[in-house]
């Protein structure tokens, strides 16, 4: 049976690569986006040209009503694989960050994962199959100076992954997280060159990650033959 994947933040960066790779692997693809409508529509057209069934749905995943509305618009019946990929970053010192800054990052990077999972999990349980894959960060375990909200949010994603995996494993729904290293995406374009050099120097494979590194790991976790992997934090960071 053909599976359906929903990728939050699926119009750009890692999400875009996952949409392409999952589509090529035979999945129906649902691309969630918030503000990147142009990129989302271009990606839909690109996948449709390959005869890949694809749908783009706009929703701010930090808003419960919009997430539920997205659930109700699904064109392929139900979602088998949910990839909680959408994320934003904020750089600043804690003592100068505003409460709004903190709430915005937590709202998307942690609350958004919770809301999207809550919306699509009941269908997975009812159908007796589901894969929930959360995209976390190596900063969730090490912490990044000037990114306290982001680091805290991603650490929360790790905790959510571990806890939920214990709740739903019996229903043949697995919940795992990918601990991504520094990946060459638009979101990381503002990493200072000296910091980039330091990260590469401390990475045994001597490079930063590519979107396909994360996408390939997600495909692996989505497969039925990975059913005994549950509650895992899979490090895809070059050994940093």
List phi, psi (to 5°) of 4: -120, 130
Helix axes 112-127, 64-72, angle to 10 degrees: 30
3-state secondary structure of 219: helix
150 catalytic? Reply is yes
Residue (of 151, 138, 29) closest to 81 by Cα position? 29
Question: Angle at CA 165, nearest 5°, toward 21 and 25?
Answer: 15
In terms of C-beta density within 10 A (0-12 exposed, 13-18 middle, 19 or more buried), how is residue 192 classed? exposed
Catalytic choice (27, 33, 150, 240):
150
Give Cα 210 to chain centroid, integer Å.
Answer: 15
- In three-state secondary structure terms, 114 is helix
Long-range contacts of 184-193 (CB under 8 A, 24+ apart): 184/208, 184/209, 184/210, 184/211, 185/12, 185/13, 185/14, 185/211, 186/12, 186/13, 187/13, 187/87, 187/88, 187/89, 190/91
* Residue 150: how many other CB atoms lie within 10 Å: 24
Query: Which residues are identified as catalytic?
Result: 150
């Amino acid at each position: 049976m053909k599976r359906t994947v929903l990728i939050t933040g699926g119009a750009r960066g890692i999400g875009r690569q996952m949409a392409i790779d999952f589509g090529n692997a035979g999945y129906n693809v649902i691309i969630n986006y918030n503000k990147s409508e142009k990129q989302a529509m271009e990606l839909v057209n690109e996948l449709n040209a390959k005869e890949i069934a694809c749908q783009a749905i706009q929703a701010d995943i930090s808003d419960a009503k919009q997430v539920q509305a997205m659930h109700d618009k699904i064109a392929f019946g139900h979602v088998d694989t949910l990839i909680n990929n959408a994320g934003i970053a904020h750089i600043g010192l804690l003592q100068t960050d505003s409460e709004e800054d903190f709430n915005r990052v937590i709202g998307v990077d942690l609350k958004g994962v919770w809301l999207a999972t809550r919306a699509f999990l009941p269908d997975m349980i009812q159908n007796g199959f589901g894969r929930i894959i959360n995209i976390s960060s190596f900063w969730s375990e090490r912490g990044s100076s000037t990114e306290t909200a982001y680091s805290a949010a991603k650490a929360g994603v790790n905790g959510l992954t571990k806890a939920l995996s214990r709740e739903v494993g019996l229903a043949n729904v697995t919940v795992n997280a990918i601990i991504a290293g520094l990946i060459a995406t638009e979101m990381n374009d503002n990493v200072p060159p000296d910091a980039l050099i330091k990260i590469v120097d401390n990475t045994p494979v001597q490079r930063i990650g590519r979107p396909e590194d994360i996408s390939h790991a997600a495909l692996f976790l989505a497969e039925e033959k990975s059913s005994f992997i549950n509650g895992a934090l899979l490090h895809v960071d070059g050994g940093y």
